[in-house]
Structure formats: structure tokens, C-alpha cells
Amino acid sequence: MIDRIEHLGIAVHDRQRSEELFKRLLGREAYKEEAVEREGVRTVFFQVGESKLELLESTNDESPIARYLTKNREGIHHIALAVTDLEAEIQRLKLEGFEFISDEPKPGADGKMIVFIHPRSANGILVELCADMDPKHPNTSSTK
């Protein structure tokens, strides 16, 4: 079952410039900055009520964010939905006809296990499902 909107992922060219802009916009500091080396991305998180905004900056030219930004302007990259049981939700959505980018969840930023629904089966929207990471899985590095 989908519990809530966990965060909106925003692709940016310049993380530091965008972080300053969002600090002014939201009137608060980011609570976390984190690199996800496997995905070639550096993230910054802002808490907004019970949801979050995640700024995503590419760390190499081959990352999904770099590819996205070569085709699109800066802006909303994905919507992340929090789920309690990630495996059960994947199975339920597959039965509903949704196509996933990968078959297995993987560690993501902010202590979450993640998997993406392909935009072609979600009205053109990249949808991320995420759940709190099992403490037995390795976490990504945090710098804030």
C-alpha cells in the first residue's frame, strides 16, 4: 500500500546554487547531503512537512541525472512514494500492469531501499517506490 508522498526529486545542474535558492525559498537549511556513487549522483534533502524535496546533481556524464538533463531542463525528475512493504507493493503493481526499470530494489539515498516504475507505464512520470532500509543492508555515505 502507498503510504504517502515521500519526496519530489528535482534534477539540478548546480547543487550548491540550487541549495541556496531552496534555503531562501523554504526558509530552512537542508538536513542532509549525500553521495550515491553507484548512481553517479549527489543529493541534498529538505524536509517540508511530512514530505521532502531532494535536489539531484550528477557527478559524472553517464549518470541517469546527466542523461536526463541533456534532454530536459532542470526541474522535477521523479515523485517518490513511501511504502511499508516494498516487495509486496512491487508484486501488486506488476499485477496491475506496471513496468519496472529494474526487477530488484537497491539501496538509495536517505536510508531507503528504492525501485523505479518506468515512465511509459505511469503516464510519462518516473515514479520511485521507497521504504526504510533494512539495517542489514549497507548504507550510502552521508556528509551532512
Evaluate whether residue 143 is within a structural domain: no
Evaluate whether residue 66 is within a structural domain: yes
pTM exceeding 0.85: yes
Evaluate whether residue 144 is within a structural domain: no
Evaluate whether residue 65 is within a structural domain: yes
The tens place of each residue's pLDDT in the chain, 144 residues long, gives: 899 999 999 999 999 999 999 999 999 999 999 999 999 999 999 999 999 999 999 999 999 999 999 999 999 999 999 999 999 999 999 999 999 999 899 999 999 999 999 999 999 999 999 999 865 544 433 334
Evaluate whether residue 88 is within a structural domain: yes
130: CB partners within 8 A, 6+ apart: 6, 80, 81, 82, 83, 86, 108, 112, 113, 114
Residue 49 belongs to what domain range?
2-137
Domain count, the chain: 1
Evaluate whether residue 109 is within a structural domain: yes
CATH code of 89's domain: 3.10.180.10
Of 52, 77, 80, nearest in space to 66 by CA: 77
- State how far the alpha carbon of 51 is from the alpha carbons of 2, 43, 86, in Å: 14, 16, 18
Evaluate whether residue 142 is within a structural domain: no
